[in-house]
Amino acid sequence: MIPSFGLIIVGDEILSGKRADKHLPKVIELLAARGLALAYADYVGDDRPRITAALQRAFASGDVVFSCGGIGATPDDHTRQCAAAALQRPLALHPEAAALIRERMQDVAREQGEAFDPDRPDNVHRLNMGVFPEGARIIPNPYNKIPGFSCDGPGGGTVHFMPGFPVMAWPMVEWVLDHCCAQWFNRQPRTEHSIVLYGAMEAALTPLMERIEAGHPGIKVFSLPSVDHPVHGRHVELGVKGPAALVPAAWRELHQVLRQYGASMGTEMVRNL
């Protein structure tokens, strides 16, 4: 079975509005390019109990979850510690992560024309970025070599942790998808077929929506109202979505009933999910 995919975005800066989240649309895009879909997203501030609770749910879920943010080594970075708490595992310096972090520090020293001193306090502190829950696997970071990490939970959920910076996180999400999730790519193509209805009311459409869903298991019927669309003005987009093989029959019945009702129909849309 194909697992559900989730996203956790960590950081007070998102919830306060100091920074706008860019991860959600990008992760949707990266999944869709591989025939996969995002099932849910959680936003969590820099609060250890809340982060821990979100991770406990993810580890118990059986899902594949991406977590962006909070894996640095400053006092407001809590995600590594919360992952350990959620898994009830100790934190430990990952040997491969430590080697990559030292390599990065050597690169920076060379760029700045300085001698690399591994015992300098700030360099010793930087190794904390490689302290992960025991049993973690690293995720390579092509931007600056400082890795992320992946952990499996007792409930079957896997969480992949990466920085909050898009320039780092997005290539890391792609690496995880291509190296850990390829067996699920394009296994169950999904599509949606919809139409613009003018002068329609959602309440009046509800019995029809329920009838289509009841008669076509595996299909979801959706309605998306708009009051100020720049092209269509006030309207309802009504459609069906689900496995590509099941959508045509549900769409034919929906469209036939709409014609029988004399609905005022506009643009038809077909979208691969």
- Short-list 154, 138, 148, 160, CA closest to 6: 160
Rounded CA gap, 71 and 17, in Å?
20
Residue 46 CA to its chain's centroid (Å): 19
Percent of the chain with pLDDT over 90: 90
User: Average pLDDT, whole number, for the chain?
Assistant: 95
Token match 């079975």: residue?
1
Region 197-203: mean pLDDT is 89
pLDDT in tens, 101-140: 999 999 999 999 999 999 999 999 999 999 999 999 999 9
Task: Give the C-alpha separation, 200 to 206, whole Å.
Answer: 11
Each residue's pLDDT tens digit, 13-56: 999 999 999 999 999 999 999 999 999 999 999 999 999 999 99
> What three-state secondary structure class fits 167?
helix
The reply to whether the predicted model has a pTM over 0.85 is: yes
pLDDT > 90? residue 189: no
* Residue 170, pLDDT score: 98
> 28: burial class by Cβ within 10 Å (0-12, 13-18, 19+)?
middle
Structure confidence at residue 97 as a pLDDT band (50, 70, 90):
very high
Please give the Cα distance from 148 to 163 (Å, whole number).
7
Average pLDDT over residues 259-270: 94
pLDDT value at 220 more than 90: yes
DSSP state, 259?
H
pLDDT at position 201 is 85
Q: Is 199 helix (H, G, I), strand (E, B) or coil?
A: coil
The end-to-end CA distance of the chain, in Å, is: 18
- Cα distance between residue 31 and residue 173, in whole Å: 9
Mean pLDDT of the 195-209 span:
92
- Please report the DSSP string for 113-145 in residue order: T----TTSHHHHHHGGGGEEETT-EEE--TTTS
What per-residue confidence (pLDDT) applies to 229? 85
Determine which helix (DSSP H) or strand (DSSP E) holds 179, and give its type and residue range: helix 166-180
* Res. 233: pLDDT tops 90: no
Residue 272 banded pLDDT, cuts 50, 70, 90: confident
Question: Following CA atoms 32, 22, 167, 138 in sequence, which dihedral angle do they give, to the nearest 10 degrees?
Answer: -70
Q: Which residues of 29-49 are buried (b: 16+ CB within 10 A; e: fewer)?
A: ebbeebbbebeebbbbebeee
The β-bridge partners of 93 are 131
C-beta atoms surrounding 176 within 10 Å: 20
Euclidean distance between CA atoms 208 and 164, whole angstroms: 44
Is the predicted pLDDT of residue 228 greater than 90, yes or no? no
Which is it for strands 158-162 and 190-198: parallel, antiparallel or unpaired?
A: unpaired
